[in-house]
Amino acid sequence: MRVGDALLRALLRGALVVVPRDERSRWGEEWRADLRDLRARGMTLGEGLRWVWGVATTAAFMGLEEVMMDGWTREIRHAVRGLLRQPGFTAVAVITLGLGIGANSAIFSVVNGVVLEPLPYPDSDEIVTVSTAFPTLGFETFWVSPPEFLELQERTRSLEVVGGYRGSQTSIGGGERPERVQGAVATAEIFQALGVDARLGRTIGPDDDVPGAEPVAVLSDDLWRRTFGGDPGVVGRGIDVDGVRTTVIGVMPPGFDLNDEGIEIWQPLGLDRAQPGGRGSHYLNLVGRLAEGVSVVGARRELTDLVAGWQEATPGAGHVPNPETHPMSMEPLHDQVVGPVKAALYVLLGAVGFVLLIACANVANLLLARAEARQKEVAVRVAMGAGRGRLLRQFLTEGAVLGAVGGVVGLGLAWVGLEALRALGPGELPRLQEVDLDGTVLAFTAGIAVFTGILFGLAPARYLTGGVMAGTLRDGGQRSTAGGSRVRLRSLLVVSEVALALILTLGSGLLIRSFSELTAVDPGFEPEGLLTFQLFLPNAAYPEAADAPGFHERLQERLAALPGVTGVASMAGLPPQRDLNANDTEFEGLEQREEGPAHNVDYYQTVHGPYLETMGIEVVAGRDFSGADRADTRPVALVNETLARVFYGDSRSAMGRLIRPCCGGDDWFEIVGIVEDVKQGGLDAPAGTELYVIAEQTAQVFGFAPRAMNVVLRTSGSPESLVPDVRRAVAELDPALPLAGVRTMDEVLAGARSRPRFLTTLLGVFATVALVLAAVGTYGVMSYAVAQRAREMGIRMALGAEAGTVRGLVLRRGLTVAVVGLVVGLMGAWWLTGLMESMLFGVAARDPVTFSAVPLLLLAVAVAASWIPAHRATRVNPVEVLRED
């Protein structure tokens, strides 16, 4: 019974806390008396608990009623008035918060749209991609060959459907001007796997996808609107695709794409299932949909088993998938699309999180300073009987109002920032068109704003504790020399600001270093003054193998005659970002050894005209191709230094050796020259092995010359100004030929560096913001510390202290705070920059240069931020300070 009474009384006391102050004692006393009487009349503990619960809800309603009646609206008006009275403070706080919240909302929008949102297909988490690998050749992700695709299709039970496709550049006529677009040839299953139907007409069906079927095409919504004016009548009409009359059978819904490739026209692959082609010819991307109830893990397990038994299931076939040299792997389509940028986006999200934390620390500092300035007022109000709850509520309201206004400003900034991101990075981020400020982002922003608001509201609340209050009244407010604990708290905030800013600036510094390394990479040719564009010669108009070299010869004659052009050539692959060829190649006199290099060449480069000279590629040994190398002369080849080194040991030994490129011919090509390496697989990757042949000779030997060639012109003036002349020259030869990708080579190189530049720019912006905010924070705290100690400084000056001594005193203090922050930041960065390893090029994650230069930079900023307050300290007038007492 005793224990029950004590429990009930304790609960009752707890409930009383929320009763408004002016009614608390009355109801407290009444309830205690009632409880006692009820217990005396035999109320059980259970009933007692119910009774207390009723009392507690009553109390809660009383508290709430008061708040609703006279609380928040007045409080908010009060807070707004107070904030408007100090426009400088308010503007700084709101802008600081707006920056933090805006940057977070913008980057979170991108992360949300790109990484978190599912892909825009029904049940998109069931869609997977399948690829192969040749680990012994160093290819971790490789395409699938048609026989492998068909066998997988037949054997898998985990995939409900699996289809294959490959990207292709496609010329479309019939519109106003011939156009070159990204297309794909795909099997009918691709559309089933993606689960998306045409918005008009139909998608590719099994009957379209057989050899010899009527040529048909499905258009993207964008292409349909752009080239065919959004005319629904286009379905069923014939258009000119790569010179072939092709019937449009459907139009896909807006935004439909695959793997972010920007595919605008879909055509059937038309695989001959009876004779699917060579096992070694890997060119398909596979996309499948998991069968009902099968997980990715389960499907992967099945794939592993299939690979292990592939040879057994395919007797007699060579070159089949196997676990050691040719495994297959499966990953969700989402990972494939998003994977390359995920890490970078999370780094950015972390970075803006830091910016927000720094912004919060700064605003908390501002509010603390404000609360301190009003400390005496607050202490007096408490002493006069103002409820602590009321004051706490006032602080919270001020913080919330700031947070809300900051949130609105931040939302505006986020919108602007997002537009900028869209403009800056169309090629850098997948799915960028799907990114938007949607409900999730709004909720995220509102969450941040409320959170920060509450955080600041609570910052000054510590001044409400009794001890501080009494001290304040005693020592007469802000002229006190005993504000030590307050300075400590604020110094702590600055320490964390400096630490966070250091981490950000270090990360940004590493990226800048790595970007400059990337810019300094020698692509292997001279990009200045080069103009390039792509031409595709359709089969229909140029049926013979020799037609293409013939066309390029005529074109080069015309282009070379243009004023300002000093050289013209054509090449099949445009450096520095080509897809890998990885063609099997025979080397005369070289045994394929188990441990030796596989007889396979990374890049074939078919050229026409004075290629090396035009591009500015050096011949290291031997000779260049010459006009004397014709279709009917002995086939010759050039190789790069890497190929010579890998297969022959050095350049000299490679000279004169015979080599047989893949696919069809019996003739050996003699290596007549060695050229310097050209970056083909990206500026940040090793050059790889490369083999050069001339188009006329491949046409002769293989009966094949590449139809898509990149023309390159070296100009003495500005390359851009030549574009109209070039277009005219091409049109004079064949008005139906579209020019694609007309760019200067500098632009091509910039494109190859655009993703790192995107990341570097953004992180640089955030680091700068962080640095400025940290400087503002340091300045604020040092100013405050000086104001606190003005009296002490005055006395020192009056007693004859040198200005330098006083200034040193303040500076030392500022530096101490900064150094502590730097040490903490360095420890954090040491760990965090390790996460950036994969984004860096040519610089270590703990690069000593960056790790020593950046802290010095921050130290300099801290000195600068402390200098003004230090200088002010020497200007304290002792007479005035002492008179104020």
Partner 1 sequence: MTVRLTHATSLILRALASGLRHGFEVMEVSGLPSGTVYPALRRLERAGYLTSVWEDEARAHGEGRPRRRIYRLTATGDALADRAAERLADAGRFLASDPGLRPRGEGGG
Applying CB under 8 A, the residues found at the interface with partner 1 are 26-27, 29-34, 36-38, 41, 50-55, 57-58, 61-62
Residues 589 and 453: their CA atoms lie apart, in Å, by 76
Dihedrals φ, ψ of 322, to 5°?
Answer: -155, 160
The H or E element that residue 423 is part of is helix 388-424
58 or 304, CB closer to partner 1?
58
Q: Exposure string (b/e) for 484-520, b if CB count within 10 Å is 16 or more?
A: eebbeebbebbbbbbbbbbbbbbbbbbbbbbbebbee
Q: Are 755 and 428 a contacting pair, CB within 8 Å?
A: yes
Residue in the block written with tokens 């006069």:
384
Q: How far is the CB of 390 from partner 1 (least distance, A)?
A: 21
Q: Which is nearer to partner 1, 51 or 611 (CB)?
A: 51
Nearer to partner 1, 68 or 116 (CB): 68
Quote the least distance from Cβ 68 to partner 1, whole Å: 15
Distance of CA 753 to the CA centre of its chain: 14
Shortest spacing between CB 37 and partner 1, in angstroms: 5
Paired tokens of 459: 């910052």
Closest CA to 142 of 319, 269, 311, 343: 319
In the complex with partner 1, the residue whose CB is nearer, 2 or 81, is 2
Q: How far is CA 673 from CA 165, 616, 626, in A?
A: 38, 15, 11
Whether 159 and 290 have beta carbons less than 8 Å apart is answered as yes
Which H or E element spans position 673? strand 669-675
Measured distance between the N- and C-terminal CA atoms of the chain, rounded to whole angstroms: 61
Token pair for 434: 């799907």
Nearer to partner 1, 31 or 758 (CB): 31
CB of 32 to partner 1, least distance (A): 6
**Nearer Cβ to partner 1 (22/588):** 22
CA neighbours closer than 13 Å in the CB half-sphere of residue 188: 13
444 Cα distance to chain centroid: 19
CB of 33 to partner 1, least distance (A): 4
Nearer to partner 1, 55 or 341 (CB): 55
The residues that bridge with 575 in the sheet, in sequence order, are none
Question: Rounded to the nearest whole angstrom, what is the least distance from the CB of residue 76 to partner 1 in the complex?
Answer: 25
Place of tokens 């390893």: 837
In the complex, minimum distance from the CB of residue 51 to partner 1, in angstroms, rounded to a whole number = 5
Minimum CB–partner distance for residue 1 and partner 1 (Å): 16
**681 DSSP 8-state letter:** B
Strands 179-186, 265-268: pairing is: parallel
Q: How far is the CB of 56 from partner 1 (least distance, A)?
A: 8
The nearer residue to partner 1, 50 or 474, going by C-beta atoms, is 50
Least Å distance between CB 387 and partner 1?
Answer: 20
Q: Minimum Å distance from CB 74 to partner 1? A: 20
Nearer CB in complex with partner 1: 27/191? 27
How far apart, in whole angstroms, are the C-alpha atoms of residue 805 and residue 640?
Answer: 68
| Closer of 40 and 520 to partner 1 (Cβ) | 40
Report in angstroms how near the CB of residue 4 gets to partner 1 at its nearest.
16
Task: Tell me whether strands 636-640 and 669-675 are parallel, antiparallel or unpaired.
Answer: parallel
Residue 59 or 829 with smaller CB distance to partner 1: 59
- Residue 605 tokens read as 């480069």
CB of 36 or CB of 728, closer to partner 1 = 36
The residue among 57 and 136 lying less far from partner 1, judged by its C-beta, is: 57
Cβ proximity to partner 1: between 27 and 266 the closer is 27
Element spanning 219, H or E: strand 216-219
Q: Least separation, in Å, of the C-beta of 421 and partner 1? A: 54
Phi-psi region of 350 (alpha: psi -120 to 50; beta: other; left: phi over 0): alpha
For residue 754, give the DSSP letter: H
| Rounded distance between C-alpha atoms, residue 329 and residue 304, angstroms | 8
Which residue, 33 or 685, has its beta carbon nearer to partner 1? Answer: 33
Q: Is 213 exposed, middle or buried (0-12, 13-18, 19+ CB in 10 A)?
A: middle
How far is Cα of residue 668 from the mean position of the Cα atoms in its chain? 47
Contact 513, 850 (CB under 8 A): yes
* 330 φ/ψ angles, rounded to the nearest 5 degrees: -135, 135
| Residue placing its CB nearer to partner 1 in the complex, 21 or 32 | 32
Cβ 45 to partner 1 shortest distance, Å: 15
DSSP conformation class of 119: P
- The residues near 236 (Cβ < 8 Å, ≥ 6 apart) are 201, 247, 248, 249
- The token pair that represents 499 in the structure block: 């630490």
CB of 6 to partner 1, least distance (A): 16
* Residue 81 CB partners (closer than 8 Å, separation 6+): none
Closer to partner 1 by CB, 23 or 670: give it. Answer: 23
Q: From the CB of 17, what's the least distance to partner 1, in Å?
A: 16
Contact 399, 454 (CB under 8 A): yes
Please report which residue ranges of 679-802 form alpha helices under DSSP H.
Answer: 695-702, 723-733, 745-752, 754-788, 790-798
Shortest Cβ distance from residue 67 to partner 1 (Å)?
16
Distance, in Å, from the CA atom of 782 to the CA atom of 487, rounded to the nearest integer, reads 9
- Short-list 387, 495, 526, 460, CA closest to 778: 495
